[in-house]
Amino acid sequence: MDKISRKTRHETVYDKIQRYRGAILMISVPVILITLLCFLMPSRIPANSIESFPRKFAPNPKTRGYAVIFDAGSSGSRVHVFCFDKQLDLIPIGKELELFVQRKPGLSSFANDPKAAAHSLLELLEKAEAAVPKELQHDTPVRVGATAGLRQLDGDTPDRILQAVKDLLKNRGTFKSKADWVTVLDGNQEGAYQWVTINYLLGNLGKEYPSTVGVIDLGGGSVQMAYAISDADAAKAPRVSDGEDTYVQEMYLKGRKYNLYVHSYLHYGLEVGVSGNLCILSGYNGLYKYGGEEYDASAVSSGSSLNPCREAANKALKINEPTCTYMQCTFGGVWNGGGGDGRKNLFVASFFFDRAAEAGFVDPNKAVAKVRPADFEDAAKIACQMKLVDAKSRYPRVDPDNLPYLCMDLTYQYTLLIDGFGLDPNQEITLVKKVEYQNSLVEAAWPLGSAIEVMSSKT
């Protein structure tokens, strides 16, 4: 009986399947077809709903990285935020290639209150934090480079202010910070970072060193030269005494090592380079102030004259003094780096561009201009023959405070290029104020170079 019942139940189930198979097919086939169609149709995801989908469908934040650079100058503090892709190309932040915010006064204005000095950066730090996505902040380097303002403070005041800034960044804990990333930049560092900036914007980094350009930057108190040299010339670099800056820095940029010759010539800037009444335009009587000192700046009765002014410039540069103990020197007994392909193409910045534009031999509305050192001499010949009253109408772009010194400035610049750095008078050089990059004009300034260096060390 058991055998009969089992057989009956089995046949009953089978009979049921057979009996309803038509209905099963009618239901299952459309379901399968609809499912297949839904799978094959392209999905339509609203543009504003990307964050609600799994992370693999969202842009990968690792394809970009940020760097925050504080430029703590004498007149104020500035923050630069840059964004790079994996190839270290700049990515716009909003509509600009960088976030730039500034405030006054500078850190040096808080000499008696280091905590207040550090706190003065807080507003800028908050702006930088708002520009960097939260998920990337912990891996975003922040650097603070103080310049002329802190250099001039006495005693341990600069160190106490820098320590307060380090404490601020550490306690805030937003960005990645190291103690040696908060420092007073010397002229060599500024020169090196500007070399990096210009070559980066030109697309030269990552190439062999002969494809890079050299940089000369003339400021008020100093002049810097920087260019890449060969391994052989780097090995020949003179040893320096303890406490002195080395001539060659090794830099690793976009996957390549560069031997960068860089030297900052302190007290050889445009504002302190030459003293000599024979360089002052006729008709001016006054005093010249620099570094807390006053100097007589009255013109002689015969007015300014090119040749005596050239002699004064050579004397200021110590061209003829036997102070050079190396085979090749620039001026003031300084090794010249050995020359080579890295300095064949020179970009010359700051006051060189400004005076050339004011003297009228380059277009002030252009970002770059091709000139020869001889152009400075030609302009000086004209300026040195003029009286101050006539120069006012001839040179409307020159600031009235600078006009009496136009002969001096142009003569010094020519002498610096020819006798100081040994350029040929007819060699083509590029005066630069800004560099075009991705259809935008970018300032040829050191913070971008600092950002590129710190980002290169991460790749």
- Residue 22 in tokens: 């038509």
pLDDT tens-place string over residues 46-92? 333 222 222 222 334 456 899 999 999 877 899 999 999 998 999 99
Residues 56, 58, 63, 66, CA torsion sign: negative
Catalytic residues: 190
CB 430 within 8 A of CB 325: no
pLDDT value of residue 351: 92
pLDDT tens-place string over residues 404-441? 999 999 999 999 999 999 999 999 999 999 999 988 88
Of 45 and 147, the one with more pLDDT: 147
Average the pLDDT over each of 106-115, 290-299, 362-371 and give the range with the smallest value.
Answer: 290-299
Question: With bands split at pLDDT 50, 70 and 90, how would you rate the model's confidence at 39?
Answer: very low
In percent, how much of the chain has pLDDT > 70?
Answer: 83
User: What are the extents of the domains in the chain?
Assistant: 203-446
Residue 364: pLDDT over 60? yes
Question: With bands split at pLDDT 50, 70 and 90, how would you rate the model's confidence at 340?
Answer: very high
Residue 206 neighbours by CB distance under 10 Å? 15
Residues 344-371 have a mean pLDDT of 95
pLDDT tens-place string over residues 242-256? 667 789 999 999 889
pLDDT value of residue 457: 81
Place of tokens 């400035």: 409
Question: With bands split at pLDDT 50, 70 and 90, how would you rate the model's confidence at 288?
Answer: confident
Residue type for position 35: T
CATH number of this structure's domain 203-446? 3.30.420.150
pLDDT value of residue 144: 97
In percent, how much of the chain has pLDDT > 90?
Answer: 62
Average the pLDDT over each of 53-57, 85-89, 149-153, 157-161 and give the range with the smallest value.
Answer: 53-57
Instruction: Count Cα atoms within 13 angstroms, Cβ side, for 158.
Output: 19
- Average pLDDT of the chain is 84
CB 444 within 8 A of CB 430: no
Residues 184-208 have a mean pLDDT of 93
- Residues contacting residue 364 through CB under 8 Å, at least 6 positions apart: 357, 358, 397
pLDDT value of residue 26: 52
- How far, in Å, CA of 386 to CA of 207, rounded? 48
pLDDT tens-place string over residues 366-391? 999 999 999 999 999 999 999 999 99
Question: What is each CA distance from 274 to 54, 353, 377, 415, 443, in whole angstroms?
Answer: 67, 19, 16, 11, 28
Average the pLDDT over each of 82-91, 295-304, 388-397 and give the range with the smallest value.
Answer: 295-304
Question: With bands split at pLDDT 50, 70 and 90, how would you rate the model's confidence at 356?
Answer: very high
Residue 25, H or E segment: helix 2-40
pLDDT value of residue 319: 83
Bridge partners of 227? 261
Residues 273-281 have a mean pLDDT of 79
